[in-house]
Amino acid sequence: MPNQIGKLYVVATPIGNLSDLSYRAVDILQSVDMIAAEDTRHVRHLLQHYGISNKLTPLHQHNEKHASPLLIEKMQQGLSIALVSDAGTPLISDPGLPLIKLAKAAEITVSPIPGACALIAAISASGLPVSQFMFEGFLPRTSSARKTFFQNKLDCPYTWVVYESSHRILATIKDITEILPGERTIVIARELTKLYETIVNTTVDQALELFERDKNMQRGEFVILVAGTEPTQNKNDISPEQEKLLTVLLKECSIKSAVAMAVEITGARKKTLYQAALKLSESQ
Ligand code: SAM
């Protein structure tokens, strides 16, 4: 009689506070045949805290294409495996997709053990409308790519959410300030579940000042949430006359020059005219 096929458990681990591991997760981490971990040293610390000893094998973004088929073989031989990442829910901006895809193809049962996730923790405490939201993971690394990303988000009707690290948080906030309307609500959730947990609800205009004033705000791990566009705030930011002027100018010169001239002529806000010019140039 062939061995019964093993199972793959996708186990969420804490995002800071070690007590945020579920009873069921402890049970699974104890009882599986091995744990595939993004960083085996990191997870060992968690296992020690719970008095769990189990076999660990690395599965991270640099080896997962090669290592995943080997883990599939083990499950086909009857072993059960738990997949964990460094923090939170695996696959949420974390490795694991090749393993899950192969497991599905091999008809191995994939079972989630839910728990901490920085995205979900942040939106649950944000105070923003989140019955619909958009999660975009990590932002592009260069400032110009980030600005293009924010421009594309100007009309997003839902709350949108990104992850950010301490290395780039200040640069990202600066880019946001340049592109998004100053009055737009932004929520910064920092160091969730940890000692210095901070959740700040502010506006785009005030966010930069906050980060420059308090250097501690630049430390740690971040979830950034931005409110979607209010329906009334949409395309009517400029008057029909301003729109007509911009349309004519855009036929003759670059966005930058058209905006500079329109600011000079109308006295309207540069950011407002810039956003309108972008929309107009896209539709031309
Ligand atoms: N899989 C994880 C999850 O479920 O949230 C996310 C992993 S991703 C590689 C790491 C990023 O998640 C960090 O750079 C940060 O943006 C966010 N993050 C993780 N832990 C956090 C925390 N305690 N507070 C705020 N953000 C956190």
Structure tokens at 179: 């592109």
Question: How many whole angstroms from 137 Cα to the centroid of ligand 1?
Answer: 10
Same domain, residue pair 257 and 197 = no
Q: Counting atoms of ligand 1 from 1, which one is nearest the CA of 92?
A: 1
Q: What is the pLDDT of residue 233?
A: 45
Q: What is the pLDDT of residue 266?
A: 83
Q: What is the pLDDT of residue 189?
A: 98
Amino acid sitting at position 175? D
What's the domain count of the chain?
Answer: 3
DSSP string, 257-278: HHHHHHHHHH---HHHHHHHHH
Q: What is the pLDDT of residue 3?
A: 54
Structure tokens at 197: 């947990």
CATH code for position 221: 3.30.950.10
Structure tokens at 3: 């061995």
User: Does residue 131 lie in a domain region?
Assistant: yes
Q: What is the pLDDT of residue 263?
A: 87
Domain end (from 179, 195, 226) = 226
DSSP string, 148-189: HHHHHTTT--SEEEEEEETTTHHHHHHHHHHHS-TT-EEEEE
Domain end (from 116, 151, 168) = 116
Q: Are 14 and 191 in contact (CB under 8 A)?
A: no
Question: How many whole angstroms from 222 Cα to the centroid of ligand 1?
Answer: 7
Domain assignment of residue 249, given as a range: 240-283
Cα separation, 18 vs 164, whole angstroms: 22
User: Does residue 216 lie in a domain region?
Assistant: yes
Same domain, residue pair 108 and 125 = no
User: Does residue 1 lie in a domain region?
Assistant: no
Q: What is the pLDDT of residue 280?
A: 87
Mean pLDDT, contiguous 10-residue spans, the chain (284 residues): 80 98 98 97 96 97 97 98 98 98 98 98 97 97 97 96 96 96 96 98 95 93 95 62 89 91 85 87 78
Cα atoms in the 13 Å half-sphere on the side-chain side of 76: 12
Report angle CA 23, 27, 32 to the nearest 5 degrees.
150
Q: What is the pLDDT of residue 239?
A: 80
Q: What is the pLDDT of residue 231?
A: 63
The three-state secondary structure class of 219 is coil
Domain end (from 195, 226, 257) = 226
Spell out which residues line ligand 1, taking CB within 6 angstroms: 15-16, 85, 87-89, 92-94, 117-119, 163-165, 189-194, 221-223
Whose Cα sits closest to atom 23 in ligand 1?
A: 192
Whose Cα sits closest to atom 19 in ligand 1?
A: 118
Same domain, residue pair 75 and 123 = no
DSSP state of 234: S
Q: What is the pLDDT of residue 232?
A: 53
Q: What is the pLDDT of residue 2?
A: 46
Strand order in the sheet with 198-203: 133-138, 159-165, 221-226, 185-190, 198-203
Q: Counting atoms of ligand 1 from 1, which one is nearest the CA of 194?
A: 23
Strands (E), 180-255: 185-190, 198-203, 221-226
